[in-house]
Structure 1
Amino acid sequence: MNRSVIPFSYQGAQLLGTLDMGLASGATGLLLVSGGNEIRSGAWGGQAWLGAALAREGVPVFRFDRRGVGDSEGENRGFRASGPDIAAALAAFRAAAPHVKRVVAMGNCDAASALMLHAATLPGLDGLILANPWTVDGENETAPVHSAAALRRHYLRRLADPRQWARLLAGKVALGKLAGGLRTAAAPQAASALAEEMRAALASYRGKVTILLAQGDRTAQLFASHWGADPRVIGNPGTSHSFADAPEWLLHQVLAALGD
């Protein structure tokens, strides 16, 4: 497996990407978009691992730092404004690997949201793999609150556990916190303007879309509650937002999506 650093530019800022390619590289490549303010190696090096694993399977993989993140110059303007960075990375990928005829982009968390918002305007993007998309309005939120549906499942499990009743009767449960949680669980799910914006933007995209959800992850649960039923969703029972507890499952799903 060969790994090389690829510099490219956008509006005077130099950005850096990493290209992973095996000795035998196919005509379908993966553009990996980092979520949050993570560098291109991803959380706990997950994207670097995935890039290497896919390269060994013959899939060229391009990862990059958007402006103002990691090794890239410029101002970090957040995921909503990252469309031009993704377009520049896509062009750099195609220039560095001209044998690649088909490119699928993958993003986790707000990188998935960015792809949903911008994919229809990105030339030459043939498919999307969207993992645990972010649906909380406001980019500066550190973590989403529990969805009402997730809280209802949580309290139903606790009500069925005799040990929890014993803790309640013994005064070991914070009643104020319990009451607040029950009120949230009983409330209807608040709408997400970001989710509806993503839905509208994705509706005009014509490539194949695969959505991967870690069903025990709060971000994924919130997305599912806002998004509703979708035949494109593939779930995993794990709890890791970056699928650190299911790397082989993730690799299998990405390979399957790339092969369609």
Structure 2
Amino acid sequence: MKRDKVELQPVRQLALRFRSAAKDHEAQARMVGILSLPAVPAPRGVLIVTGGPQYRAGSHRQFTLLAGALAAQGLPVLRFDLRGMGDSEGAPRGYRATGPDIAGALAQFFDAVPSLREVVLWGLCDGATAAACHAPRDARISALILLNPWVRSSAGLARATLLHYYLPRLLQGGFWRKLAGGSVQLGASLASLRQVAAATRNAVAAAEDEAPAPALLQALTQFQGKVLLILSGDDLGARECRALLDGDAAWRAVTARAQWTQAHIDGANHTFASAAWRGEVEQLCARWLQAW
């Protein structure tokens, strides 16, 4: 139900310790999370899934600030350290192995907030990809908010580099002036361009079993909840993602569904480093969450 005006609530910050749902030898390792709990929590909550070498605060404290802002609007928010990161125990692991940690955080979230009925997973970069891949496994996950999801492959990186670096350079007057003045080493530049083009051809021909895009596509195809995708305007990873969405029929079918919403933040880098960019992300998320 859409609310035109949201009355801000007082928020408590609660430190939580809980275990992963993993069955491996580090299953007893404890994770640490911070629950931002509004005075009257809504039945919908947000679980922030970290990624890469990040912990629960996020780059530029983005996760901390976002959690506080959403909780003030009534949404309980849990942000936590994956095993091996921040204050959590255990060894670091890649995003592909974070599913049990997300499951453990979800169990703690529902236990700590008895009124909770559904959860939105929020993630940036490989945290977004990990969140999306976990979402079809739990019916309590009603939606995803994905920022610059990790879709990196050799082919995608090479294509994005050709399209967004080399081709724009050829259209810049400064490049041609430098070339005429002898300050550009043409031989080295052409060699670099040939290497990137060759990498594109080779990567397309090779079977890239480790590429995250196929797993992400499969998860989003299976997931029937709502999805908000936010892409930065000045980020190579976001451009790789946009190229997939525009250039592949299977991806276009996913993004054409009614539950899909896509937003673009002009000029923003990968981690939304400025207060203005972080504020725009916050407003996009809040408006979207309030609209349904």
Q: Same fold by TM-score, threshold 0.5 exceeded? A: yes
Once the 2 structures are TM-superposed, how far is the Cα of residue 188 of structure 1 from its aligned partner? 5.9
Alignment length, in residue pairs? 255
Closer, same or farther: CA 200–172 of 1 in aligned 2, 3 Å: same
Q: What residue is the counterpart of 2:120 in the other structure?
A: 104
Q: What residue is the counterpart of 1:51 in the other structure?
A: 67
* Partner of residue 16 from structure 1, selected from 10, 15, 32: 32
* Partner of residue 218 from structure 1, selected from 227, 233, 236: 236
What is the letter of the counterpart of residue 254 of structure 1?
C
Once the 2 structures are TM-superposed, how far is the Cα of residue 126 of structure 1 from its aligned partner? 1.2
Q: What residue is the counterpart of 1:132 in the other structure?
A: 148
Matches of residues 110-129 of structure 1 in structure 2 within 5 Å? Answer: 110-129=126-145
Secondary structure at the residue paired with 1:173?
A: coil
CA distance in 2 between counterparts of 1:171 and 1:78 reads 45
CA distance in 1 between counterparts of 2:164 and 2:67 reads 36
Closer, same or farther: CA 181–216 of 1 in aligned 2, 3 Å: farther
Q: What residue is the counterpart of 1:163 in the other structure?
A: 174
CA distance in 2 between counterparts of 1:172 and 1:98 reads 66
CA distance in 2 between counterparts of 1:100 and 1:72 reads 24
Unaligned runs of 5+ in 1: 139-143
**TM-score computed with the length of structure 2 as normaliser:** 0.79
Unaligned runs of 5+ in 2: 1-10, 21-26, 247-251
CA distance in 1 between counterparts of 2:168 and 2:284 reads 30
Alignment pair present for 1:41 and 2:84: no
Secondary structure at the residue paired with 1:126?
A: strand
What is the letter of the counterpart of residue 180 of structure 2?
L
Once the 2 structures are TM-superposed, how far is the Cα of residue 160 of structure 1 from its aligned partner? 3.2
CA distance in 1 between counterparts of 2:74 and 2:64 reads 15
Matches of residues 1-260 of structure 1 in structure 2 within 5 Å? Answer: 1-10=11-20, 11-137=27-153, 146-183=157-194, 184=196, 187=200, 190-191=203-204, 193-228=211-246, 229=252, 230-231=255-256, 232=260, 233-245=262-274, 246-259=277-290, 260=292
Return the structure number with greater helix share.
2
Closer, same or farther: CA 205–71 of 1 in aligned 2, 3 Å: same
Once the 2 structures are TM-superposed, how far is the Cα of residue 105 of structure 1 from its aligned partner? 0.5
Once the 2 structures are TM-superposed, how far is the Cα of residue 3 of structure 1 from its aligned partner? 0.9
Once the 2 structures are TM-superposed, how far is the Cα of residue 257 of structure 1 from its aligned partner? 3.0
